[in-house]
Amino acid sequence: MKKNLTILALAALFCASCGEDIERQAQALLGEARIANEAQEYDKARLLLDSLRATYPKAFKARREALELTREVEYGQQSRSVRFYDEQLASLKARRDSLLKEFVLEKDTRYQDEGNYMLPSQTLKSNYGLTYLRAQVSEKGVAYITSVYRGKAIEHTGVRLSVGDTFVECTEPVSRQSSKHLGVTSERLNFRYGADGGIMDFIASAQGDINVKLTGKHPVSYTLRREDASAVVKTLELAKVLQSIESVQAMRAEAARHIEFIERSRERFEGDDKPQE
């Protein structure tokens, strides 16, 4: 009986010793993670914390402390991201404001939540009675090109651009409009950038005169004006900046949501640790 008790006591002592050794090793790893976090080496800190959880599943004290440190690491990462996004947004908005000095905004607040930017040379008012390609971009950065035709009805269904033997074509407009006033027909085909058959990119990169052919029942051809080609280049540049602003704002909002979640989680954690009265 005494022998069995001795064996049990030694076993308990051995287990306690092992437990203390495991906890000590886990705390050492936790210490490294804390140093990495203080140095803002967040990726390194996360790797160390992941290693602690995987290697020492029974180091309960260290794992509890690691949970709190993980929140601190995540908070630091997301806070740094917010600062980075704010810097990006400041730069992008400055570029946007510089570009917008050349553009006008067409927006009827009675019917539109979102207006469109275009160069003054591209407005319908500036091109009354003319056939041309009009470039515009929404306030959120979605670019469009519109084939505007005026004259005898031709019922055009697409646009084909060419320089020599190189050409692009699109026959899938996102919308069509046709009207008639005082015997003159107005036709418009609207193409969205990215689904325009490469029309806008073709104009932006083409060298030499561009032939425009309005395809359909009664095809019509003309040479693209230089100012219209320039308008496409400037519109695409503005579109890229506006889209970048939208993207960065979305990423910043996501990082801010993470920070809010961490703060709520921290409050709950601290509340659970308070002694009950």
Residue 272: the pLDDT is 55
Residue 107: the pLDDT is 86
pTM of the shown model: 0.82
Q: Which two tokens stand for residue 123?
A: 């407005």
Residue 108: the pLDDT is 81
Residue 251: the pLDDT is 97
Find tokens 């967040």 and name the residue.
Answer: 42
Residue 10: the pLDDT is 36
Domain ranges of the chain: 2-97, 103-247
Residue 3: the pLDDT is 47
Residue 274: the pLDDT is 52
Distances (CA, A) of 103 to 59, 124, 139, 206: 64, 14, 12, 23
Residue 15: the pLDDT is 43
Residue 267: the pLDDT is 73
Residue spans of alpha helices (H) in 2-122:
2-38, 42-55, 60-100
Residue 17: the pLDDT is 44
Please identify every stretch of the chain with a pLDDT value under 50, giving residue numbers as ranges.
1-18, 275-277
Label residue 40 left, alpha or beta by phi (over 0 means left) and psi (-120 to 50 means alpha). Answer: left
